[in-house]
């Protein structure tokens, strides 16, 4: 594990409200108005890459990422789920889990591409999602 830099925004928000959390990671909304179900799964400790984690930690991280995907599919019924782990701007391990719809602002391009249209408004019920995620995780 690398030392947490003082200016890391994901370290600074470790205790901020989350949709779901355990001792090792948290699930938060990305806060993107075009993508109300766009979530991030963030490892709590400041780690750069998946291969910096112990195998059991990696397994736990991926299990939660996939559970988030499952719960998003069950609650929003998107056309597609995009999973991404970039970290070029914030090198603190996190995954983006993005439900995509044919009428969203960028489809079929990545959400980081040039905007194609105004997104159709959608609502994301965080409470319903949390209940579904908890069931998927068996927690």
- Binding footprint of Zn ion on the chain (CB under 5 A): 4, 8, 10-11, 46, 92
Residue number, 49 or 118, with CB nearest to Zn ion = 49
Orientation angle between helical segments 55-76 and 126-137, nearest 10 degrees: 130
**CA 2 → CA 14, 23, 98, 102, 113, distances in Å?**
16, 19, 28, 40, 31
Residue labelled with tokens 């299990």: 63
Q: How far is the CB of 122 from Zn ion (least distance, A)?
A: 30
132, 75 Cβ separation under 8 angstroms:
yes
Give least dist CB 57 to Zn ion, A.
16
Residue 9 or 138 having the CB closest to Zn ion: 9
Q: How far is the CB of 10 from Zn ion (least distance, A)?
A: 5
Residue 57 or 66: the one with the smaller Cβ distance to Zn ion is 57
């Amino acid at each position: 594990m690398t030392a947490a830099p003082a200016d890391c925004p994901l370290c600074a928000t470790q205790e901020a409200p989350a949709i779901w959390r355990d001792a090792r990671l948290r699930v938060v909304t990305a806060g993107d108005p075009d993508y109300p179900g766009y979530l991030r799964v963030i490892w709590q400790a400041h780690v750069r890459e998946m291969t910096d984690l112990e195998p059991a930690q990696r397994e736990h991280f991926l299990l939660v990422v996939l559970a988030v995907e499952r719960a998003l599919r069950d609650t929003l019924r998107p056309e597609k789920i995009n999973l991404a782990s970039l970290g070029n701007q914030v090198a603190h391990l996190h995954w983006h889990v993005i439900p995509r719809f044919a009428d969203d602002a960028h489809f079929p391009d990545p959400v980081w591409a040039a905007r194609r249209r105004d997104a159709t408004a959608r609502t994301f019920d965080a409470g319903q999602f949390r209940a579904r995620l908890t069931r998927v995780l068996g927690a």
